Amino acid sequence: MRKILLLIAMLTIILMSAGVVWASPPVPLSHSGQWADEAVKALTDAGILEGYPEGSLQGERGMSRWEMAMILARFLNKMEKTHQLLLSKEELEEVMAIANNIKVELSAFGVRVDELEKQVPPLQKRVDELDKIHFYGMLDSIGVSQGFNGAVNIGLYNNLATDWFTGRRMADGAGVTALAILGVEADLDESLKGGMELAGYTGQGEPTIDQYWGVTPPYLSNPFTALGSTDPTNPSGSDNEPWTRMTLNRFWLQNDKTKDVLIAGAYNPVYIDDFVCVGPRNPNINKPDYLPLFGFNYSGEKKWKGKGPYKYEIFYSMLPQRAYQPASGATTYMEHYNTWNAGGNLTYEFASGSFSVNFMRVANETSPGISTIGSVALPTVMTGWADARAATVTIHTTVGPQQQNNIGARLTVDLKNGFTATARYASTSYNPDIDKWLYDTVVSGGMFSFDITGKIKRTDIALQYLSVDPTYDPFMLHYPLNTNIPVFLPYSTYYSDYYQLHDNIRYPNNRQGYRINLAHPVKTRGRISLTYESFLQVKSSAQSEITKPGFIEPLFFTALSPGGDEKGSQANIMAGLDYKLKDPDIDATLTLAQYEIWRNAPVSRLNDDIHLKLNEGLLSLNYPLSPTFAVIGGVSWMHYYGHTVSQLAQDFTQTAPMIGLSYNPDNRSTVQLSYRLFNYNNTADKTQNWSGSQAIVEFRTSF
């Protein structure tokens, strides 16, 4: 309707300045162009513009005022009968301007302009009401097919393959997933907006493929956040059995004047710093990198005495946990704990920087009538924590109910010459057993980092020193479903099947050292980057340390008891190049990295000696064939070798070349097809060797 009204506003100029002939079939316009052709066709199809008895519009001659009045009268009559009032204020004003110019002619058709003017205010009111409601949405669908051969039963549920480059597990078979988001936004008054989002998810085929390689499900349908079905051992349904859920994902309110936002449902933290809380890492390979929290979040921004704004955030959420555990001697499942976290952030921005304060509390709550002794298991890689109260030291492999308080602060100051300095400090106070059945202790740990970032000429520079205690944020929880994801190489401070709430890859436990990041443009078509990291353990992983409650160290544990006090080290170097070739027109990305992990032990304790290396690379290419169509390709490769504790040899390689097609018809839609070959070669154990393929097709669109 809006297009039709605009066409009417232009019609006098179109038809009087450039002759138009419209017959059936349509005759191409020789003067006005396609836009005028479409204008007349739209008015004709709407029954507003009618031709002469012989079927033409006599467009070779000028248009009379009487004919213009006839067209406008028909339009106004049609609008009145059909109640199609989706008009803007400007469009209504254009109609009135045309009507006022041809008052006499309109009166002959029974249209009084003064009566029309009386109708404009109520019409505009209805238009304004309809304009307050907006709909938006997104659809993302991924289909994956995988096949393997080589090692015995490779790809089956009890012997899944592993893409070591990403750390994700791979199953034999196929899976299809789809996620649809439908949202509505409404202007409740001049400054207040509100809305809600519905999320529909479906998955069928091999559940392992859906969970790791398909679309990430919304929170309430995600097996890694809140059990998607009543059977925790099979959250995505049986093999090839469709599994569909519709969830109310979230509500929200927003005040444009005060910039306050209230979210109820799924959300990601807004202002709280990631060294305090960032949420569970997403086991799925696809976005987002971190799974959302689920509860409520209130954030906003205010001015303080006319100076820089202060920002604030308050939140509460349920936390993912393996909520179902088999009762003793029973095959049914029972819920042990409800786990939650709550906290907030206050950030003040001043002329030369900002200051941020964070607080978070996380705890288990006991379900009524349920025994809670030791319900939360420690990671199997750990030897357990000791109960110092007992006459004979007892090693426990469980904790709980547990609780923890986190406080943190960040100060950012703009220095001279465009440099910025940032200092971060946080501390946790952790109680592994509120009821004091297993432990009677509270454990504290802290972290500190100092960054300087800036630019020297054209080179971006970032320097960081950090130190994180082994007892910082030891409140670890199971995912509701075992992720079965190996430790992300080379960042071996990550626990398989467990998560911490802070970013434990950027701020790894029991590490002290520095990072250097450099980035420099290559002419006008590229960028080269270089990163170097060097870390040492804060405390050694001797038995006397590992058994202390709250000690977090998944990599440098000792094989002998008593072990030595040598500290482990890590040194990582990464180089990257993004470059746009001129002829042929190809976007290329190349990343190379070498990671080294070691701890030197004397010959008397040779089994405590560790030395591991990881070399890896990634090459990605994008060759556009047209503005909307491109060929993509690349290859990833890695070599992991050395020995762990007890002189266990590690030596394997993995290569994975890829080729695919990408189609982007507009900036809201994309279709991508990729095919990847895997080859895993384990020199230390040839019975584990395998090869396989993976085909992925994804369709994504939004409105």
Q: Which residue has the higher pLDDT, 497 or 634?
A: 634
Per the rule left: phi > 0, alpha: psi between -120 and 50, beta: everything else, 311 is: beta
Q: Is the pLDDT of residue 233 over 50?
A: no
Per-domain boundaries in the chain: 2-131
190 CB contacts (<8 Å, ≥6 apart)? Answer: none
Backbone phi, psi, residue 561, to 5°: -130, 120
543 CB contacts (<8 Å, ≥6 apart)? Answer: 383, 558, 561, 562, 563
121 CB contacts (<8 Å, ≥6 apart)? Answer: none
Residue 269: pLDDT band with limits 50, 70, 90:
very high
How high is the pLDDT of residue 560? 65
b (16+ CB within 10 A) / e for 85-111: bebeeebbebbeebbebbeebbeeeeb
Ranges 94-103, 155-164, 344-353, 564-573: which has the least confidence: 94-103
Rounded to an integer, what distance in angstroms lies between the CA atom of residue 572 and that of residue 81?
Answer: 73
SS3 content of the chain, % helix, strand, coil (to 5): 15, 45, 40
Residue 544: pLDDT band with limits 50, 70, 90:
confident
Helix orientation angle between 113-131 and 89-101, rounded to the nearest 10 degrees: 170
**Is residue 508 within 8 Å of residue 536, measured between CB atoms?**
no
Rounded to an integer, what distance in angstroms lies between the CA atom of residue 339 and that of residue 320?
Answer: 7
Residue 68: pLDDT band with limits 50, 70, 90:
low
**Mean pLDDT (the chain, rounded):** 82
Rounded to an integer, what distance in angstroms lies between the CA atom of residue 678 and that of residue 675?
Answer: 10
Percent of the chain with pLDDT over 90: 51
**Is residue 279 within 8 Å of residue 290, measured between CB atoms?**
yes
Q: Which residue has the higher pLDDT, 85 or 218?
A: 218
Residue 238: pLDDT band with limits 50, 70, 90:
very low
Residue at 60: amino acid letter: E
Rounded to an integer, what distance in angstroms lies between the CA atom of residue 416 and that of residue 495?
Answer: 41
At residue 566, the 3 state secondary structure works out as coil
Give the angle subtended at the CA of 72 by the CAs of 69 and 75, to the nearest 5°: 150
At residue 39, the 3 state secondary structure works out as helix
Rounded to an integer, what distance in angstroms lies between the CA atom of residue 322 and that of residue 339?
Answer: 10
Average pLDDT over residues 143-163: 92
Which residue(s) pair with 244 in the sheet? 202
Closest CA to 633 of 607, 659, 615, 613: 659
Q: How many other C-beta atoms are found inside a 10 Å radius of the C-beta of residue 444?
A: 13
How high is the pLDDT of residue 308? 74
Q: Which residue has the tokens 């009084």?
A: 112
User: H-helix or E-strand containing 138?
Assistant: strand 133-150
Residue 367: pLDDT band with limits 50, 70, 90:
low
Residue at 10: amino acid letter: M
Q: Which residue has the higher pLDDT, 365 or 233?
A: 365
Ranges 16-20, 271-275, 616-620: which has the least confidence: 16-20
Q: Could you give the C-alpha distances from 352 to 345, 348, 422, 454, in angstroms and in order?
A: 20, 11, 12, 14
Cα Rg of the chain (Å, integer): 33
What is the β-pairing status of strands 337-350 and 353-366?
A: antiparallel
Q: Which residue has the tokens 């989706």?
A: 86
Q: Is the pLDDT of residue 405 over 50?
A: yes
Average pLDDT over residues 642-667: 93
Average pLDDT over residues 666-684: 95
Residue 344: pLDDT band with limits 50, 70, 90:
very high
At residue 581, the 3 state secondary structure works out as strand
Closest CA to 448 of 404, 474, 475, 409: 409
Percent of the chain with pLDDT over 70: 74
Q: Hey, CA dihedral for 463, 467, 473, 478, is it positive or negative?
A: positive
SS (H, E, C) 260-327: EEEEEEEECCCCCCCCCCCCCECCCCCCCCECCEEEEEEEEEEEECCEEEEEEEEEEEECCCCCEEEC
Rounded to an integer, what distance in angstroms lies between the CA atom of residue 128 and that of residue 44?
Answer: 28
Closest CA to 445 of 430, 465, 461: 430
Q: Is the pLDDT of residue 249 over 80?
A: yes
Helices (H) and strands (E) counted in the chain, each on its own, are 8, 32
User: H-helix or E-strand containing 647?
Assistant: none
Ranges 25-29, 78-82, 467-471, 504-508: which has the least confidence: 25-29
Written as six digits, the tokens of 580 are 């746009």
Distance of CA 148 to the CA centre of its chain: 30
Written as six digits, the tokens of 87 are 């008009």
Residue 472: pLDDT band with limits 50, 70, 90:
very high
Q: Which residue has the tokens 């060759």?
A: 623
Written as six digits, the tokens of 30 are 């020789």
Residue 32: pLDDT band with limits 50, 70, 90:
very low
How high is the pLDDT of residue 587? 93
Average pLDDT over residues 303-332: 74
**Is residue 59 within 8 Å of residue 21, measured between CB atoms?**
yes
Ranges 74-78, 399-403, 438-442, 617-621: which has the least confidence: 74-78
Q: Could you give the C-alpha distances from 459 to 373, 527, 669, in angstroms and in order?
A: 56, 10, 35
Q: Which residue has the higher pLDDT, 170 or 102?
A: 170
**Is residue 39 within 8 Å of residue 11, measured between CB atoms?**
yes
Distance of CA 450 to the CA centre of its chain: 27
Closest CA to 93 of 120, 74, 115, 112: 120
Q: What letter would DSSP give residue 688?
A: G
Rounded to an integer, what distance in angstroms lies between the CA atom of residue 571 and that of residue 511?
Answer: 12
